[in-house]
Homo-oligomer: A and B are copies of this chain.
Amino acid sequence: MARGHPAGPTGPAIRRAFDLLDLFTTARPRLTLSQLARHGGVPLSTAHRLVAELVRWGALERDPDGSYHIGLRLWELGALAPRGQGLREIALPFLEDLSQISRENVQLAVREGAELVFVERIAGTGAVPVFTRVGGRFALTATGVGLVLLAHAPTEIQDDVLGGRIERYTERTVTDPARLRRMLADVRTNGFSISDRQVTTDSLSVGAPIHDHLGQVVAAVSLVVRHGTASPHTLAPLVRTSARAISHALARRR
């Protein structure tokens, strides 16, 4: 017939819908229908139908100008994620204490695949400015939190990360896999990590692991200070104590 054409074989509808949602990023939090269709590799009419369905539920919302953005319903749902908001709520008072005591930046992160996701960040009064964003991702290889999370990640992930390309941020960034492996072993024996000017040339961070009720490492805290301000070895006990306190709070809450 004139109308109607063989439906193209594609993928599960659910996956396609989430792939469209995935196009929203910090850098581009608002997208038009045609941008979604183009970047998502989906025919316009299909994108239109999927998006309409997402709007109906509240996963997306529409601006007066016609562009779409992530809806409040999705934010509400996300707030139920134990590794996101849940962790954040339990840890917050401890992180605030840590920030008060040290007057430095505090970071809380979890591992997601071969990267880390920042769950909370508290800026110390007059501390080094830090670029991280809550909800943002970063490599596991360079930061204090990253080294802790990588050190306690499954071997599979470690091999994956160490075998792949390791991003360099400063001239002191460790990119040699063998040396990184030794650093990770140190992190496991010492119970804390040190990242000395590996991300920026003037900052240093000390991280420690947070465990769940089964003893698994589920998150990491770190202090980020200006290089030369304090010795990492002075900071380590402070961070470890805070991490241990959070671990206990976590175990109790379950």
Chain B hits for A18, CB < 8 A: 57, 59
> Is A25 within 8 A of B80, CB to CB?
yes
Contact of B53 with A86 in the complex, beta carbons under 8 Å: no
Known: A72-B110, A117-B72. A21 touches B135 (CB 8 A): no
Q: How many copies of this chain? A: 2
What's the Cα separation between A135 and B89 when bound, in Å? 12
Q: Indicate whether A238 reaches chain B with its CB closer than 8 angstroms.
A: no
Question: A77 to B137, alpha carbons, bound, how many Å?
Answer: 12
A147 CB to closest chain B CB (Å) equals: 20
Which chain B residues border A76 with CB–CB below 8 Å?
78, 84, 112, 117, 135, 137
Partner of A77, one of B13, B21, B72, B134: B21
Complex partner residue of A83 from B22, B25, B64, B75, CB under 8 angstroms: B75
Q: Judge if A74 is at the interface, Cβ distance under 8 Å.
A: yes
Chain B residues with CB under 8 Å of A134's CB are 79, 85
Instruction: Select which of B53, B70, B79, B112 is within 8 A of A72 by beta carbon.
Output: B112
Question: B74 to A78, Cβ gap below 8 A?
Answer: yes
Considering only residues 57-98 of chain A, those with a C-beta below 8 Å from chain B are 57-59, 61, 64, 69-86
A252 within 8 A of B: no
- The distance in angstroms between the C-alpha atoms of A17 and B21, with both chains bound, is 14
Q: Which residues of A contact B (CB under 8 A)?
A: 12-15, 17-18, 21-22, 24-26, 29-30, 50, 53-54, 56-59, 61, 64, 69-86, 110, 112, 117, 134-135, 137, 214
